[in-house]
Structure 1
């Protein structure tokens, strides 16, 4: 990095006490660096570049080895100071929401991130050296306010995004790996929820750092925050995730409720992860499951096939939780379920749909709904019949994905809803030939449908069990 003109000597140079730091020299050095990061807008660019150079020189100084050593009064307050420095460095390299000139700004962000990552590597190596040279665990106290900011920076720039470059991703990945090594964690998941039951993880602290940027008015100011939140959330699974439900559910709903399809999909993935990894009892409390259901259901009116696919997968895993309290006692008609409501809407959209990608998406998920409802699929039989015939009549390309999934739906439909038939009644009736078994009728119908429309498929795989 090129120097930006002559500057005053840093306060740690020319110390009057050789071999020992004055009680305020170290604090003054870092305070000056923080002041340079918070300079006036007109001078901020040069001041921040100068601050990076000063910080690099400070970390390379021999006296700086005492940063993580000892616990005397001269180093009191340094952990908080280091946390503030790490926060300033992360903010300096954070991408900004830029509607115009995105390419130039993002390349500049990648360069800044690479420079900041090198500073974080130097700082973490100081911690690693202190671990092996000390008897007392003073380094743990200094690392605590530092680790969260380093993690957020590393995740922000190690993911492949528009503001990253191969170089910035590489050095950010090295920062994350060294952070795990210093904190003695075998994985990111262990870093977040703790390596064992007795150890408290850092997930709560990191969510606290992200919270100011995940409000309704601020979550779009930094485009990286939503990706850091989503990536971090999906690293924490059950049984650890349930205790953080109040922190993770509102941001997930907020992101999924955006007007941009990319954000909707990201939010839906977060909600799906919550459904999979939070116990049903916690989701049913305070009607959280209903809130998630309505958030997902509203996306079914879109025409983006990627979003529809994510929503349907999430709903299929949510149905067992919503219907957990429903028990049919056999004394009346079974109540309609959320699965019925979703299937009815899907079939309504499938009939007139002409876009191939959407048709394939709907057809891909239709068998799962038939399996879920079982015999109750008869409620939708007329509309299902129209959809099946309509989708088999339309050419779907060489792979025939939609047609094959519709045939799988037909097979399941015949298995679950075909009337029961007593095989003992298949003898001669009034001198006539025995009636055809329903399975044979189904096989004839499938063969006629498939071969009549030119679909190449082994129809023996669609045979109906004789017991049905």
Structure 2
């Protein structure tokens, strides 16, 4: 092996790293390779490149029975040493800290990853060959030491990231495919939680490898760690995830509590996955659900639409868990809920909000909150009315997402709180007619299907309003067809009159 000229020389033949006793010449050669991969001298690059070449040659020349023998000897024998080399290779190919990236650092990482990936493919081919006689029983022993680091390498480099390139991604995907094939797993999920109920998966092992890098001091040392954790977590679903709740909840909260919006969103996605796939009883234990709620609620003060969207979706799935033990016994007023608290804050933010993306995000989720509260939405009726009237007046761009969602919200609101609607008849009728006229005369780039959807939704709201007011809308609209020259407006009014004169509207 090529020396790098440093004062510290690699172990001589017959020696080993301190505290290690290679059980064979092969183990000794692996020990020397491990030494060169993990040394810290400034001229380590040449030595590491030579170590990769030596390992490649070693894997080509070694027999399967040599690679996977001796697991009962000191430190696992050759398989144990091979596992250490694999972990060192995974670390060697890992991306550096973000602040350490310089110039073409990303392309350098991709080159390293491609070289390491080819070595992992050779190694997995050896494991696959070990399934054949006479070493058929040894392959599981070998894979036990190799699977974790190889999996982490594959997930780190298989998707598009700043440190990957098309070539390195292709190699990493091939490594992952071969790993699943050798492990006899049909999917990554099966690899992690086990293909059968009585089979133990490798999720605990992967989390054990990630755990030292997921604390407050170290989780940003490797920019890939958060992505490997998030991606791995989302492969494990019910009923397996609750067994690992103590391991996955703290890192998810840690990532979501970061100052960078990207990390906040990633952490919230992890928390949402936990909420969806862990039983309510486990989330309520030790007050975990309340901890989740407060962590998510604090994000609602951040003016980032991507984060708000992720938080609101997560909260909507968390509410049933938080309110699981609440039962109204009649007599007294129903207690306010977490959903009431969140809706109150959302409406507070919606009224003065002028940023289009945030307006769309709030409007997109408003119908779900009205559905969740049902008739209890009456508590927020005055503020909802102000928000609805304000949002119906403002053009929302070609897609008109905000106004369409606000119309959907208004329909739900009238269905749930219809006894309180008649006293708001004039205000709502004016707003809907103004919207219909504005859309009918709109000469902007709004597509015709969007205009048609707005007119249809507004007409449905007029029908509901007429039904809630015992037919008063019909009388107020009676003279419009004679005085209005716009065919689209007249068409909407006639639809309301025709339905009112016929069978009762069944929208409520």
TM-score, normalised to structure 2's length? 0.82
* Aligned counterpart, 2:268: 268
* Aligned counterpart, 2:377: 377
String of CA shifts for 1:244-296, please: whole Å, max 9, x gaps: 00000000000000000000000000000000000000000001001111111
* Aligned counterpart, 1:454: 439
Deviation of 1:24 after TM superposition, in Å, equals 2.2
Residues 76, 279 of structure 1: alpha-carbon distance in 2 compared, 3 angstrom cutoff: closer
Q: Using the alignment, how far apart are the partners of 2:29 and 2:68 within structure 1?
A: 16
Task: Tell whether the 8 Å contact from 1:275 to 1:317 is kept in structure 2 after alignment.
Answer: yes
* Aligned counterpart, 1:81: 81
Q: Using the alignment, how far apart are the partners of 1:159 and 1:4 within structure 2?
A: 36
Q: Using the alignment, how far apart are the partners of 2:355 and 2:3 within structure 1?
A: 58
Q: Using the alignment, how far apart are the partners of 1:73 and 1:340 within structure 2?
A: 63
Q: Using the alignment, how far apart are the partners of 1:172 and 1:179 within structure 2?
A: 10
* Aligned counterpart, 2:404: 404
Q: Using the alignment, how far apart are the partners of 1:133 and 1:217 within structure 2?
A: 48
SS in 2 for 1:107: helix
Deviation of 1:188 after TM superposition, in Å, equals 0.1
Deviation of 1:325 after TM superposition, in Å, equals 0.5
Deviation of 1:55 after TM superposition, in Å, equals 0.5
Q: Using the alignment, how far apart are the partners of 1:335 and 1:132 within structure 2?
A: 67
String of CA shifts for 1:366-395, please: whole Å, max 9, x gaps: 000000001111111111111111111111
Deviation of 1:440 after TM superposition, in Å, equals 9.5
Q: Following superposition of structure 1 onto structure 2, how do residues 248-327 of structure 1 map, counting pairs within 5 Å? A: 248-327=248-327
Comparing 100-109 with 77-86, which one deviates more in the overlay? 100-109
Residues 75, 210 of structure 1: alpha-carbon distance in 2 compared, 3 angstrom cutoff: closer
Q: Following superposition of structure 1 onto structure 2, how do residues 147-186 of structure 1 map, counting pairs within 5 Å? A: 147-186=147-186
Give the length in aligned residue pairs. 443
* Aligned counterpart, 1:142: 142
Deviation of 1:6 after TM superposition, in Å, equals 11
Residues 131, 416 of structure 1: alpha-carbon distance in 2 compared, 3 angstrom cutoff: same
* Aligned counterpart, 1:42: 42
String of CA shifts for 1:388-411, please: whole Å, max 9, x gaps: 111111111121111111011101
Q: Using the alignment, how far apart are the partners of 2:128 and 2:222 within structure 1?
A: 31
String of CA shifts for 1:60-84, please: whole Å, max 9, x gaps: 1144663136879799612211110
Q: Using the alignment, how far apart are the partners of 2:364 and 2:419 within structure 1?
A: 26
Q: Using the alignment, how far apart are the partners of 2:107 and 2:417 within structure 1?
A: 60
Residues 453, 329 of structure 1: alpha-carbon distance in 2 compared, 3 angstrom cutoff: farther
Q: Following superposition of structure 1 onto structure 2, how do residues 20-31 of structure 1 map, counting pairs within 5 Å? A: 24-31=24-31
Q: Using the alignment, how far apart are the partners of 2:420 and 2:278 within structure 1?
A: 40
* Aligned counterpart, 2:470: none
Residues 447, 5 of structure 1: alpha-carbon distance in 2 compared, 3 angstrom cutoff: closer
Q: Using the alignment, how far apart are the partners of 2:157 and 2:229 within structure 1?
A: 13
Deviation of 1:40 after TM superposition, in Å, equals 3.5
Task: Tell whether the 8 Å contact from 2:364 to 2:402 is kept in structure 1 after alignment.
Answer: yes
Q: Using the alignment, how far apart are the partners of 1:242 and 1:132 within structure 2?
A: 37
TM-score, normalised to structure 1's length? 0.88
Residues 64, 193 of structure 1: alpha-carbon distance in 2 compared, 3 angstrom cutoff: closer
Task: Tell whether the 8 Å contact from 1:157 to 1:172 is kept in structure 2 after alignment.
Answer: yes
Q: Using the alignment, how far apart are the partners of 2:121 and 2:210 within structure 1?
A: 22
Q: Using the alignment, how far apart are the partners of 1:300 and 1:263 within structure 2?
A: 15
Q: Using the alignment, how far apart are the partners of 1:206 and 1:321 within structure 2?
A: 29
Task: Tell whether the 8 Å contact from 2:33 to 2:51 is kept in structure 1 after alignment.
Answer: yes
SS in 1 for 2:439: coil
Residues 323, 67 of structure 1: alpha-carbon distance in 2 compared, 3 angstrom cutoff: same
Task: Tell whether the 8 Å contact from 1:192 to 1:236 is kept in structure 2 after alignment.
Answer: yes
Deviation of 1:453 after TM superposition, in Å, equals 3.4
Q: Using the alignment, how far apart are the partners of 1:357 and 1:439 within structure 2?
A: 29
Q: Using the alignment, how far apart are the partners of 1:364 and 1:73 within structure 2?
A: 62
* Aligned counterpart, 1:242: 242
